[in-house]
Structure 1
Amino acid sequence: MDENGLCIIRCDPPVNGSDSFVFQPDVIASWKALLGLASTREAIAAIMQGREDTSRYDPKTGRGVWTGAFEALESALADSATDVSMLASDGEILDDPLTAARNKTREGMSLPVMSNETDARMRAALTSDGSGVEASSGIDVACTQDVDGLDDFLSDESSQAMLDECEERFFESLMPRQSQR
């Protein structure tokens, strides 16, 4: 992070033809939520590797690669009061529109999609007893291994607190609002 609060990643060798990436920390929170990513490292790797298919943008409606994921997440959050799990007892994901929308967005960003098996494994790892298994939604994080300072950033408590605040703000922005009558 620089003094302006921006995440600056410099990489050698370049990833997707770029040797640096600059973004606000809020981007990490939104990518994690919209793409169903398991970790901050995975979100940073997705940001570095993602390439938006701009041919999927419809100028008449304003719909693009990200629109369906936003709508599905908003819908899931609106329905969250029912507390229904989409994970069957055998680990199979039930008919989950959020995963389907996330996969369409992943496709539109040239990122790997999640199979039901991957999604089930990831959810199980995220809810496990801390067995040390790092959850993955299928994003290759190898490009983040040699990024100077990234491990320190990811293990720093103040960085984690800041990222948690970004995540809270992102989800809050999508939560249904009570109508003012």
Structure 2
Amino acid sequence: MLSATFEMDENGLCIIRCDPPVNGSDSFVFTPDVIASWKALLGLASTREAIAAIMQGREDTSRYDRATGRGVWTGAFEALESALADSATGVSMLADDGEVLDDPLTAARNETRAGMRLPVMSNETDARMRAALTSDASGVEASSGIDVACTRDVEGLDAFLEDESSQAMLDECEERFYESLMPRQNQQN
């Protein structure tokens, strides 16, 4: 049985200590900004899913191309930047019924998921998740397919996830992350 604790230290680091180890690690240390970036780049439905992905993901370093510097995350960054540029110009990847159209962002996220040895997401799962996130399905936890069971018994995690100041901080991290990827206006003086 897993015995795990979550804490945020004085430097703002999230620390999860596990006994026995999860995926070969007895601790995970990351910033709230990492949670925001993993949610966006992997198309995750919740902070809990992001933390579970951090605990379960293991980068396939054989996918790193030394000649170009491209790694498993590169395609997801590029696709998200492109999707944000498209959304800034009014292009939508959602049909009226909520189905995700041939979505290059989902494909890029799946490449990254595969490169991190995490489950990939079908267009149908992506569409259901987006619909659940935009509906008033209170109490229903949307999922993109990441197994969150490893986070259920982490002492202190639920309190962190339910805390209003933690939520505000995570929202700010998410805003900063998306802002960093938004297309910039060409400003000439």
Q: TM-score range by the shorter chain?
A: over 0.9
- Aligned 8 A contact 2:49 2:146 in 1: yes
Deviation track 1:6-25 (CA, whole Å, cap 9, x = no partner) reads 00011233211111100111
Confirm or deny: 8 A CA contact 2:39 2:47 kept in the other structure. yes
Which residue of the partner structure matches residue 94 of structure 1? 101
Identity %: 91
1:180 Cα deviation after fit: 2.9
3-state SS of the aligned residue for 1:63?
coil
CA distance in 2, matches of 1:177, 1:89: 29
Q: Secondary structure at the match of 2:18?
A: strand
Deviation at 1:95, TM superposition (A): 0.9
Distance 1:12 1:84 in 2: 47
Cα deviations across residues 72-92 of structure 1 (Å, max 9, x unaligned)?
000111111233332223443
d(CA) in 1 for partners of 2:56, 2:119: 10
Mean Cα deviation higher: 138-147 or 116-125:
116-125
Name 2:88's counterpart in structure 1. Answer: 81
Return 120-129 or 134-143, whichever deviates more: 120-129
- Comparing 98-107 with 10-19, which one deviates more in the overlay? 10-19
Q: Deviations over 1:26-52 (max 9, x none)?
A: 000000000000000000000000000
Deviation, structure 1 residue 120: 1.3
Offset of residue 93 of structure 1: 1.8
- Aligned to 2:65, the other structure's residue is in SS state coil
What does the per-residue CA deviation read over 1:113-135, in whole Å, with 9 as the maximum and x for residues that have no partner?
00122111101110111342110
Q: Which runs of 5+ in 2 are unaligned?
A: 1-7
Q: 1:87 touches 1:93 (CA, 8 Å); kept in 2?
A: yes
Contact kept? 1:119, 1:137, Cα under 8 Å = yes
Structure 1 91/177 Cα, relative in aligned 2: closer, same or farther at 3 Å?
closer
In structure 2, distance between residues paired with 1:108 and 1:57: 10
Distance 2:65 2:143 in 1: 32
CA deviations over 1:119-167 (Å, ceiling 9, x no partner):
1110111011134211000000000011110000000000001101111
Q: What TM-score comes out, normalization by structure 1 length?
A: 0.96
Structure 1 residues not aligned, in runs of 5+: none
Contact 2:94 2:100 in 1 (8 A): yes
Query: Does 79-88 or 27-36 show the bigger shift?
Result: 79-88
In 1, Cα distance between equivalents of 2:137 and 2:159: 21
Q: Report what 1:131 is aligned to.
A: 138
State the partner residue of 2:20: 13
TM-score by length of 2: 0.92
